[in-house]
Amino acid sequence: AQTVTQSQPEMSVQEAETVTLSCTYDTSENNYYLFWYKQPPSRQMILVIRQEAYKQQNATENRFSVNFQKAAKSFSLKISDSQLGDTAMYFCAFMEGAGNMLTFGGGTRLMVKP
């Protein structure tokens, strides 16, 4: 079974600064996908960014980028130029290559301070 660990329950960052959220996972699979989901206060969970394990290039979506270290089984999320709207719970998640189900980490609560 896969496990996903987020070691930072809470983090804070000043507006306009950069913050990195950590995620590690454990799997024996070689083909899989990794995701970061964002859950704003009282709002629906949305996908922020995804990474295919077979791709060496780190995924980037505007101010969001990942540092994917396959050998170390590490998948961190970097948020640049943090905005107040980035305040949310962030979940790291894993999906097997041929599967449909997600395994989530425990989440990191991020507070962006003005």
Partner 1 sequence: DVKVTQSSRYLVKRTGEKVFLECVQDMDHENMFWYRQDPGLGLRLIYFSYDVKMKEKGDIPEGYSVSREKKERFSLILESASTNQTSMYLCASSCSREGRSYNEQFFGPGTRLTVL
Nearer to partner 1, 80 or 111 (CB): 111
The span from the CA of 72 to the CA of 84, in Å, is 32
Instruction: Give yes or no for residue 17 binding partner 1 (CB under 8 A).
Output: no
**105 CB contacts (<8 Å, ≥6 apart)?**
4, 5, 6, 23, 25, 91, 92, 93
Return the SS3 of 83.
coil
Closest alpha carbon to 90 in 3, 31, 22, 25: 22
Instruction: Give yes or no for residue 105 binding partner 1 (CB under 8 A).
Output: yes
Binding segment toward partner 1, per CB under 8 A, in 11-19, 43-51, 60-68, 77-85: 43-51
Among 7, 17, 26, 47, binds partner 1 (CB under 8 A): 47
Instruction: Give yes or no for residue 50 binding partner 1 (CB under 8 A).
Output: yes
Instruction: Give yes or no for residue 46 binding partner 1 (CB under 8 A).
Output: yes
Contact present, 87 and 110 (Cβ < 8 Å): yes
Binding residues for partner 1, per CB under 8 A?
A: 4, 6, 9, 33, 37, 43-47, 50, 52, 91, 95, 98, 100-102, 104-107
